[in-house]
Amino acid sequence: MEFRIDRTEFADAVGRAARALPGRTPVPVLGGLLLEAGAGRLAVTGFDFEAAVRVEADAEVSAPGRVLVLGRRLLDVCRVLPDGPVGCVLEGSRFTVEADGTRFGLSTLPLAEYPSPPGPPAPYGTVDAAAFATAVAQVAVAAGRDDTLPLLTGVQLRLDGGEMTLSASDRYRYAVRRLEWKPEAAAGERVVETLLPARRLLDVARSLGRDGDVRIGWEPGGSGGLVGFEGGRTRTALRLLDGRLPAYTSLFAMAGAAVAEVAREDLAEAVRRVAVVAEANSPVRLDFSAGGSVRLRAGYGDDVAAQRLPATLTGADEMPVAFNPAYLLDALTSFESPRVRLELLGAGQRALLHAVPGDGQEGAGAAAGEHRHLLMSVKELV
């Protein structure tokens, strides 16, 4: 095996494929990247049973072949390679990487022990890559981090006609984002609903965010099923999680709620500022008034901070609520609109955030994209 490749393309391919490498694994070969050279191209694959990433790049191939090398070691090498062409050759069990007089020799892993990565699922449709990356980022903040509750660490993907819905919840918040997509004719009228690991999906969406369109494939089969994402020359398959998130329709029904509107970035900056004096897990209180302002307050005793901002409130003369500041910031920063609307039921109850209609694309309706974020407020006000 022998090939030459541009250093930037080589580093990009290795970096993208390395996203599938596990942090720790009892199976050493899963820490490897599979390099396959042939017919004017190099393919780099990473695989750990939960995700498979395959990236192709142009290369001058003198001798085709395959090699399995330690992925993170190769990634480190790519980061320090000088610019220009890179020459790679496999001699026995030694893989050599050379560029501009700099030479690295790497040991190889046994190819016979490497499991076969899954093939691409059947095509199902396409979605704009940038819009998809934004949507995944907006809902992934609400996914849980506790791996003992795998259901809550996922993002639910629903495909229904020309609409895609992404949702995530960790029991204390629930984010939902709708966007347009283009199903294949073969998809028919079937509604697809699957649960994917949030961290993996976020990595995929970010890596494909500049690739124009993302082609989505689907292979049913419960936790053994796959969803594939392909953009440019990168192809990723994610294994499905078991289960389904609880329905959010009734949670998002906010009959009788007071409605507040406030500048989003100003509110986020004020939350960051007053939360400096708050103890761990202490809430930030927001007192909305019909007089045209909201007063933020955090801290106890002599260690307190407060700030007042312009805001509107309808449906009540005043509305005091309190939130975990980290959760509130996650919700606010997940929006892109200049102003946000908060539907409030009171302390210890649900609060629903969404963009103010007419403020930007998010508020223009489901056709352009609709993002909503539900938060549980804290019962005890500071």
Instruction: Indicate whether 46 belongs to any domain.
Output: yes
The answer to whether 86 touches 5, Cβ cutoff 8 Å, is: yes
3-state secondary structure of 217: strand
Residue whose entry in the numeric block shows the structure tokens 């007053």: 274
Tokens 């009171």 correspond to 346
**Residue 222: partners with Cβ closer than 8 Å, 6 or more residues away:** 240, 242
Check if the beta carbon of residue 89 is closer than 8 Å to that of residue 99.
no
Taking phi over 0 as left and psi of -120 to 50 as alpha, with beta for the rest, 256 belongs to left
Contact 321, 343 (CB under 8 A): no
CATH number at residue 208: 3.10.150.10
- Structural domain ending residue among the three candidates 113, 141, 158: 113
Q: State whether 89 and 133 are in the same domain.
A: no
Q: How far apart are CA 304 and CA 326, in angstroms?
A: 18
Q: Which of 113, 131, 150 is the last residue of a domain?
A: 113
Are 138 and 50 in the same domain?
no
Cα of 349 vs its chain's centroid, Å: 28
Residue 245 resides in a domain: no
> Which residues span the domain enclosing 105?
2-113
Residue 186: inside a domain: yes
| Domain contains 49 | yes
Domain boundary, last residue among 50, 85, 113: 113
Q: Enter the pTM of the model.
A: 0.90
Do 68 and 114 touch, CB atoms closer than 8 A? yes
Domain count, the chain: 3
Per-residue pLDDT of the chain (382 residues; tens, 9 = 90+): 999 999 999 999 999 999 999 888 788 999 999 999 999 999 999 999 999 999 999 999 999 999 999 999 999 999 999 999 999 999 999 999 999 999 999 999 999 999 999 888 888 999 999 999 999 999 999 999 998 899 999 999 999 989 999 999 999 999 999 999 999 876 667 788 999 999 999 999 999 988 789 999 988 765 568 999 999 999 999 999 999 999 999 999 999 999 999 999 999 999 999 999 988 779 999 999 999 999 999 998 889 999 999 999 999 999 999 999 999 999 999 999 999 999 999 999 999 999 998 755 444 333 346 999 999 999 877 6
- Bridge partners of 303, per DSSP, are 300
At 310, list the tokens.
Answer: 């312009």
